Amino acid sequence: MQTVHEPASLRAVIRGWRAEGKTVGLVPTMGNLHAGHFSLIRHARARADRVVASIFVNPTQFGPNEDFERYPRTLVQDQAGLADEGCDLLFAPEVSALYPLGPERAVKVHVPRLGEILDGASRPGHFDGVATVVCKLFNLVQPDFAVFGQKDYQQLRVIERMVADLGLTVKVMGAATVRAADGLALSSRNQYLDDRERAVAVEVSATLRQMQALMAGGHAREAVEQAAMARLVQSGFVPDYAVIRRAEDLEIPAPEADLTSLVALVAARLGTTRLIDNLPFSAA
């Protein structure tokens, strides 16, 4: 596997592939890779002639007092894992390569409404940073498709909306959430949890399953959400939200909505760690 750090080097490699008629898949990441990330690489590997992964801890998607400075950076370990999974090219730029005028002066991509609710409300500006950096990566790599994990459900929907509205040609693919044996969704931030918190963290996925079961049992959405918030608080979390939304656009569903068109979403803090997870009803 080859590693490049500059956009010009990235483009040179991809030009060579395109001259050979190769298809290209992209897997954007922030590094500190785990089994969930590697499942995305395998998803891309099965569908493209060449696979590009990016590792970039993007400063514009972190808010004040968030964990940008302490976010784990494990490039050597990540390179070995990507090579083992058959990744062809790693793009690992410095901040100056993607934000030549500095992050504070960068052009921003804003996705109205969808990027402003739920995580967009809890973390103002977060999805501007996500949409901006993903748009940059799409422009640099020009992939045939890009793969994102469904654990970051709202992010996936934001990127799909951006691609559709800007007329980009890249196909956005979602890959299923990878979970630990006890149900906890794999996340780079899980390593922030101490042993006690790790044992409690499984309550996030358990709460999602309860939300789905209560809705299937005919309970009102508002009551289901209230019960979920209460369960999380009782377990020691400080929840940002526990909601049932339309899977398509994360708006509040009509009372008569088909259950398979819905998704349950949770964001909650446990100690200093913020956990997010979701459960599409169509996956039941």
**Which uninterrupted H or E stretch holds 122?**
helix 119-122
Tokens at 77, concatenated: 């370990």
pLDDT for residue 284: 59
139: left (phi over 0), alpha (psi -120 to 50) or beta: alpha
- Report the distance separating Cα 155 and Cα 166, nearest Å: 16
pTM of the model: 0.96
- Helices (H), strands (E): how many in the chain? 10, 9
Tokens at 195, concatenated: 């042993």
pLDDT at 140 over 90: yes
Give φ, ψ of 41 to 5 degrees: -60, -45
Q: What is the pLDDT of residues 44-102, one digit of tens each?
A: 999 999 999 999 999 999 988 888 998 999 999 999 999 999 999 999 999 999 999 99
Residues contacting 231, CB < 8 A, separation 6+: 203, 207, 210
When pLDDT is averaged across residues 210-239 and rounded to a whole number, the result is 97
When pLDDT is averaged across residues 153-164 and rounded to a whole number, the result is 98
pLDDT for residue 122: 94
**Domains and their CATH numbers in the chain:** 2-175 (3.40.50.620), 188-278 (3.30.1300.10)
- Note if 5 is an active site residue: no
Tokens at 43, concatenated: 């998803």
Name the active-site residue from 37, 43, 126, 219: 37
pLDDT at 110 over 70: yes
Residue 156: pLDDT band (50, 70, 90) is: very high
What's the maximum distance between 2 C-alpha atoms anywhere in the chain?
A: 59
Residue 282: pLDDT band (50, 70, 90) is: confident
Q: Is 268 helix (H, G, I), strand (E, B) or coil?
A: strand
The percentage of the chain sitting over the pLDDT mark of 90, rounded to a whole number, equals 96
pLDDT at 14 over 70: yes
